[in-house]
A and B are shown apart, each in its own frame.
Chain A
Amino acid sequence: MNQDVFDRIKGDRRFRELVAKRTRFAWMLSAAMLVIYFGFIFIIAFAPKSLGTPIGSGVTTIGIPLGLFVIVSAFVLTGIYVHRANTEFDAITREIVEDIK
């Protein structure tokens, strides 16, 4: 791969758009994950008692579904990213690389 190819890709408008779009998307999802997780951790740190609040009259506390929610959200967020990256982003990448070659 020579310098020329890199320069042409870098100069390609579609490449810049793709990277900008993908980067924004990735950071947005990262931020979502961080907010969810550190939200959970901060509750544990600052208000551990609140997680011990029972739901209704039972012994199940809100901490349990909340922990479960963090686990499920991790899975869902990865799914969202992989779906878009493997279809939309990959198609654009392929297009750019083939044109340049």
Chain B
Amino acid sequence: MTAWFHILSLLGGAAVIGATISPVEAAGALEGGGRQALNIPAIAMFFVFVAATLGITYWAAQRTRSAADFYAAGGGITGFQNGLAIAGDYMSAASFLGISGLVFASGFDGLIYSVGWLVGWPIILFLIAERLRNLGKYTFADVVSFRLDQTMIRSLAALGTLTVVAFYLIAQMVGAGKLIELLFGLPYLYAVILVGALMIIYVAFGGMVATTWVQIIKACLLLGGATFMALMVLMHFGFSTEAMFKAAVDIHPKKLSIMAPGNLVTDPVSAVSLGLALMFGTAGLPHILMRFFTVADAKAARKSVFYATGFIGYFYILTFIIGFGAITLLMNDPIYFKVAANGTYNKITDLLGGTNMAAIHLSNAVGGSLFLGFISAVAFATILAVVAGLTLAGASSVSHDLYASVIAKGKVSEDREIRLSKISALAIGIVAIFLGYIFENQNVAFMVGLAFAVAASCNFPVLVMSVFWKGTTSRGVLIGGFLGLISAVTMVVLSPAVWTKTFGFKTALFPYDNPALFSMTIAFVGIWLFSKLDASERARKEQDAYEPQYVRSETGIGAAGAVAH
């Protein structure tokens, strides 16, 4: 241990002495000096991407006339394209930067998150995807309210959607702010505003067509970039993963423990709760569920899931390699760290820009400044594409569910509904900028975990119960779904991650960071119980209406083709 510190201080000391200025400035100078040279290709590539996506948005705006175009790209996306777009929604800044950062910080633990995110996919396919396509039109609330009360169900679905979108957006905005801050030296707030403004433009003008194509292009760029990075890392170790792990264990301060589950999951309840949130949260994310309405039929919906699972799985394997690559290639190199006055640095927490920047620094280490520029541009593109999808989901929920169905009771023109959706996109963008600014110092991967807990505890139970159980009634869904949502949010707020780390209270009132085990149970039991207790005339009619819904969900007969009018 002492020897290790000695080596560290020697390395750090050399850097400080070489700079002949105070260590703090030295770190700053290293950052600044490094950046100027690297900045030009990065900025150039940012601009190329932004210009290209604005071009797509313009093209999409020309084609977006009807509500079906705006919400569901007119049903004209193929299974393969949709698979890429879904994968793109997954390969968010939180997955790419957060997971590789988590692997960088604690090794094996990163794999627990990626595996959990992935295994939700088969379940979505087996139980939900085709029924969703057969029953719905634009939002998942269409499916839940198929035979249930429009006002009650859509209000709840909108609440569930907006809560998830808010949590998820915070995570993405934080990633965006940190990334651009590091890359341009642009203040965090300005970076967040830039991202917010671009996403508003994509969604408000280009609707689902633009949102989908931005996502597809970015997915290709990111898969290409991550593949190159992983290959370079593996090449460094002669394509021997054993050699890579060996080097990582030698270098990492946690030594051998990075090769086994560590502190991420400390007890069985947390493990199961996290697992449930990751797995079933996937099946409740509104921006993902919306993607099933952009394809022509159930067959294409299934294919999308197959391609998406392949791309996502492949991507997570790459992320794991990238995380280990970052351990081996960055940790001994002080230029990537904030070096303290005595020349030492913490190999994990002192990484410039935080551990979430591990993948970005690695791109410099394996591919030089040009590749750093490329990966930075891609990471930026990633955030933009994902926040655009989230914003669209949120805006659709406000205009299609809340406004058109709840407030106007269906008496609203298509033009007016679309216009309202665009205004909602603007409002959501502004709120996202504000929230992104407040939550600057939260771990991004973890914030996504919070979004998943809410999705798993409100949207997912509501969807499953309305599709699979004849006895489900509006009152049951409303009360059960609301209880699931409230309990998930409350437990998250009272959990160690928010109550102690964010609010600064001494002890958390709820012991687990992931409440899904409890909140999902509350939601399912709530829906079941309050449906059973519902003896109203309406409840009986709703239960009778299950049969036609069932036939349509199984065959697709009479399903809304989301085609252009």
Would you give the 0/1 interface string for A68-85, flagging 1 where the beta carbon is closer than 8 Å to chain B?
A: 101110110111011001
Are B552 and A1 in touch, CB under 8 angstroms? Answer: yes
Instruction: Give min CB distance, A31 to chain B, whole Å.
Output: 10
Which chain B residues border A45 with CB–CB below 8 Å? 265, 267-268, 270-272
Which chain B residues border A46 with CB–CB below 8 Å? 268
Which chain B residues border A64 with CB–CB below 8 Å? 108, 111, 241, 245, 259
Which chain B residues border A71 with CB–CB below 8 Å? 114-115, 118, 313, 316-317
Would you give the 0/1 interface string for A1-42, flagging 1 where the beta carbon is closer than 8 Å to chain B?
A: 101011001100001001100100011011001101110111
Also in contact, A29 and B126, with CB within 8 A (given A6-B551, A64-B108):
yes
Are B122 and A81 in touch, CB under 8 angstroms? Answer: yes
Are A68 and B557 in touch, CB under 8 angstroms? Answer: no
Would you give the 0/1 interface string for B117-128, flagging 1 where the beta carbon is closer than 8 Å to chain A?
A: 011011101110
Which chain A residues border B246 with CB–CB below 8 Å? 58-59
Bound together, the chains give a CA A79 to CA B126 distance in angstroms of 11
Which of A36, A78, A96 has the most chain B CB atoms inside 10 A of its CB?
A78
Also in contact, A78 and B125, with CB within 8 A (given A90-B299, A93-B556):
yes
Which chain B residues border A54 with CB–CB below 8 Å? 259
Are A63 and B130 in touch, CB under 8 angstroms? Answer: no
Residue of A33, A59, A75 touching B242 (CB-CB under 8 A): A59
Instruction: Give min CB distance, B328 to chain A, whole Å.
Output: 12
B555, CB-defined interface residue at 8 Å = yes
Residue of A26, A59, A70 touching B245 (CB-CB under 8 A): A59
Bound together, the chains give a CA A54 to CA B365 distance in angstroms of 29
B547, CB-defined interface residue at 8 Å = yes
Residues of A in contact, count (CB < 8 Å) = 54
Are A49 and B313 in touch, CB under 8 angstroms? Answer: no
Instruction: Give min CB distance, A99 to chain B, whole Å.
Output: 12
B1, CB-defined interface residue at 8 Å = no
Instruction: Give min CB distance, A87 to chain B, whole Å.
Output: 10
Are A58 and B261 in touch, CB under 8 angstroms? Answer: no
Bound together, the chains give a CA A10 to CA B306 distance in angstroms of 29
Are B275 and A41 in touch, CB under 8 angstroms? Answer: yes
Residues of B in contact, count (CB < 8 Å) = 57
Which of A36, A40, A44, A67 has the most chain B CB atoms inside 10 A of its CB?
A44
Which of A36, A51, A74 has the most chain B CB atoms inside 10 A of its CB?
A74
Instruction: Give min CB distance, A23 to chain B, whole Å.
Output: 9
Instruction: Give min CB distance, B545 to chain A, whole Å.
Output: 10
Bound together, the chains give a CA A79 to CA B279 distance in angstroms of 18
B112, CB-defined interface residue at 8 Å = yes
Bound together, the chains give a CA A38 to CA B122 distance in angstroms of 14
Instruction: Give min CB distance, B509 to chain A, whole Å.
Output: 23
Residue of A3, A34, A82 touching B302 (CB-CB under 8 A): A82
The secondary-structure label for the interface of chain B is helix
Name which residue of chain B comes closest to A27, CB basis: B126
Residue of B126, B309, B554 touching A19 (CB-CB under 8 A): B554
B48, CB-defined interface residue at 8 Å = no
Instruction: Give min CB distance, B265 to chain A, whole Å.
Output: 5
Are B260 and A49 in touch, CB under 8 angstroms? Answer: yes
B185, CB-defined interface residue at 8 Å = no
B235, CB-defined interface residue at 8 Å = no
Which chain A residues border B187 with CB–CB below 8 Å? none
Are B554 and A15 in touch, CB under 8 angstroms? Answer: yes
Are B108 and A33 in touch, CB under 8 angstroms? Answer: no
Are B108 and A93 in touch, CB under 8 angstroms? Answer: no
Also in contact, A81 and B268, with CB within 8 A (given A67-B115, A93-B555):
no
Also in contact, A38 and B275, with CB within 8 A (given A44-B265, A82-B305):
yes
Are B108 and A96 in touch, CB under 8 angstroms? Answer: no
Bound together, the chains give a CA A86 to CA B302 distance in angstroms of 8
Which chain A residues border B413 with CB–CB below 8 Å? none
Instruction: Give min CB distance, B556 to chain A, whole Å.
Output: 7
Residue of B122, B245, B256, B313 touching A52 (CB-CB under 8 A): B256
Which chain A residues border B127 with CB–CB below 8 Å? 26, 30
Bound together, the chains give a CA A19 to CA B551 distance in angstroms of 9
B65, CB-defined interface residue at 8 Å = no
Are A6 and B548 in touch, CB under 8 angstroms? Answer: yes
Which chain B residues border A26 with CB–CB below 8 Å? 126-127
Which chain B residues border A75 with CB–CB below 8 Å? 309-310, 313
Are A10 and B551 in touch, CB under 8 angstroms? Answer: yes
Bound together, the chains give a CA A25 to CA B261 distance in angstroms of 33
Are A41 and B271 in touch, CB under 8 angstroms? Answer: yes
Bound together, the chains give a CA A61 to CA B257 distance in angstroms of 10
Would you give the 0/1 interface string for B251-278, flagging 1 where the beta carbon is closer than 8 Å to chain A?
A: 0000011011110010110111011000
Sample of 6 more A-B contacts, CB < 8 Å, known A41-B112, A78-B122: A33-B119, A42-B271, A48-B260, A51-B108, A59-B242, A70-B115
- The 6 sampled A-B contact pairs (Cβ below 8 Å) are A34-B123, A38-B275, A59-B259, A63-B260, A67-B320, A74-B119
